[in-house]
Structure 1
């Protein structure tokens, strides 16, 4: 399919992609529009995940793009950001499924696994033969995960015994493995473990009542004397700094996904403004509506520019924690502002999912918080600016 830049990409940043990357985006766009978009509102309302789309997401080559063992072709971090944007502009829950499978589960093994672990698990996760989850956040530990993990891993000969609990773990109700992060009883450092979900003592329970990312199957996980062999400990995950290396990669892609949510809401609002007639003409011809659309497009354009630069820095090995933190904090704040303006454009129709904006409006709240709240990312950047840590 011929590639066309999005109308919401006002400055044409997509033209920075290679021809092969553009072709991939074009094919992915067709799949998402034809197979995914028609079902998302139904499943969002039911708070169920459409498992029938998983095979297609993997078939397109969307999973595993960041690692040589599984990438369909050589590609850039900017391109992978655009993939995250494309997914999120259709639905944030679908983007989150890919983010968990690709960036967190596969990414944790790709960054922290041994060569043998990478060779065994990355192709299985990329193909969809194995579905993964990522267990870091706990009921009493979110922003303070670097120091506050209460899940304990105790060495027992050639095995480790895990005890503790996790919360808000995406994909965890149907994953085959979950990467569990736990504090070692021996040295107090955070370690990572590939835990098959069939292991005795492992239990995942779906979190009910969510009003954001309703399709994502988040779970509470309990670990009661879960025995994991040393061969399933991530061999290059020895401190939280290694965990942070995984999050540094995914945080930038969450920033791109936030732009995608803003784009999805904006595109729906533009369409509505041309079709909705009030006072005898389309509401898009009114100055106040155009003002909201222009402000929304400004937020989107600024966010794409910031994300493009931070991804270029990643490709060059220049990206640091504060760079991805600023991208996440800025884009999610602008996303939140943009989806509110788009909801305003739709008036009363902005609170029903028929027009899509209500779904983007609700889902934006989850992206605003996960992968580091705005406040925590602000403190990371503030420490870089001043040289002074303001963490408690």
Structure 2
């Protein structure tokens, strides 16, 4: 130790009174410490002094910010206000009960009037509620909901996207005028019945649910599976194949219709709050007035799916944000070896990987919604976003659980719910493989579908 360093150490010791030195000596061997210090070289002494100085500083933990590239600054003031309104609702009304309802596998019906009061249903549908808003805002709403509870985001997506979208794109003006205002205020809850027990990815190739016209009545027979909201929906959009012309047609089936039987799917490991059902249609009679007048082939159904597939990509981003934010908060509070685990290199590396993927996803869906608002978004662009975002979300939720160690599998820490829910988002609205083939066909000009 140099003479200058010795003098510096003596000055530091002078600042301590005898009472303090006695107190310190009851916990540590001062003689041994001074002996060790005297043997230190310059580098070792530098590192010691640096550590001591750092220990004297109270490090301020920054606020959690998952919008690392400040995309929020690109929004209008109105869009920012609506986004914050939805965020407040989700944090105050949904977050406190999310785990409870997910665990029970039940839906919090008491939330529906509160959600309706937000006035956010059907924002992009002209002439419906607070319409003329952007697809970008609609995506942000889906993201904000999924950030807290992917199940609630799914419920809302079925209501405001699939069900309302079917009527908006495929219904007559009379049907739109009658049903959409009631759905916008959530007085009427909707469901969307396309997937079947034996037909999932292959829906475009034909449905097993049939529709036979007899005068002004249609007779529907078959089954639908994984139909969200269907256990309590007031109306369900049922897609069936016309036995005469072999084309897909859509029907608005009201819940009390004879021959319409929904049965709740039990024991799901994901999106447990969403009430999915198997629907059995047995000689279910629907009037011609309840047939979607502009749904004459699967191409019309695809219009709805194209719109909502972009929403699912946003939903995946929200799920990833929820996992990332929970993991980051946990890492800055959880201490091991005497300090927060967020101070360890391996944990910081995981957090940066998560944020990197998350930021890429955010910029991708932001641009996708801009294309959608411009009316130029293609099927393959929506599919690429769905593939990319759901794939990276699986990685992010897995890394969040890894940071939390054993606590990551407990519901009380929230991330376990995001891990499970990410699996469902990865598969619905077109599996990873199906959406990849849609993109593959676009970039090669060759179809790989069977």
Q: TM-score range by the shorter chain?
A: over 0.9
Which runs of 5 or more residues in structure 2 are unaligned? 1-62
Instruction: Indicate whether 1:77 and 2:135 are aligned.
Output: yes
Answer yes or no: is the 8 Å Cα contact 1:212–1:362 preserved in 2: yes
Answer yes or no: is the 8 Å Cα contact 2:64–2:328 preserved in 1: no
1:299-336 Cα offsets, whole Å, 9 max, x none, are: 11100111011111111111111010000000000000
Q: Hey, which bits of structure 1, 4+ residues long, moved more than 3 A?
A: none
Aligned pairs, number? 388
Aligned match for 1:26, one of 84, 99, 102: 84
Aligned match for 1:285, one of 343, 347, 350: 343
> Aligned runs of 1:1-392 on 2, under 5 Å?
7-392=65-450
Report deviation, 1:367.
0.1
Which runs of 5 or more residues in structure 1 are unaligned? none
Report deviation, 1:73.
4.8
Larger radius of gyration: 2
1:61-120 Cα offsets, whole Å, 9 max, x none, are: 121112122242532111111111000001000000000001010111111111111111
Aligned equivalents of 1:27 and 1:260: distance in 2? 16
Aligned equivalents of 2:282 and 2:166: distance in 1? 23
Aligned equivalents of 2:129 and 2:331: distance in 1? 40
Aligned equivalents of 2:131 and 2:437: distance in 1? 37
Report deviation, 1:159.
1.1
Aligned equivalents of 1:326 and 1:110: distance in 2? 25
Aligned equivalents of 1:182 and 1:382: distance in 2? 29
Aligned equivalents of 2:120 and 2:134: distance in 1? 13
1:194-225 Cα offsets, whole Å, 9 max, x none, are: 00011000000000110000101000000001
Report deviation, 1:126.
1.0
Q: Give the 3 Å change call, closer, same or farther, for CA 364–88 of structure 1 in structure 2.
A: same
Aligned equivalents of 1:374 and 1:58: distance in 2? 33
Answer yes or no: is the 8 Å Cα contact 1:184–1:190 preserved in 2: yes
Pairwise CA RMSD: 1.0
Answer yes or no: is the 8 Å Cα contact 2:124–2:131 preserved in 1: no
Aligned equivalents of 1:120 and 1:17: distance in 2? 33
Q: TM-score, length-normalised on structure 2?
A: 0.85
Answer yes or no: is the 8 Å Cα contact 2:310–2:365 preserved in 1: yes
Report deviation, 1:6.
7.5
Q: TM-score, length-normalised on structure 1?
A: 0.98
Higher relative contact order (CA 8 A, sep 6+): 1
Report deviation, 1:148.
3.0
Q: Give the 3 Å change call, closer, same or farther, for CA 182–170 of structure 1 in structure 2.
A: same
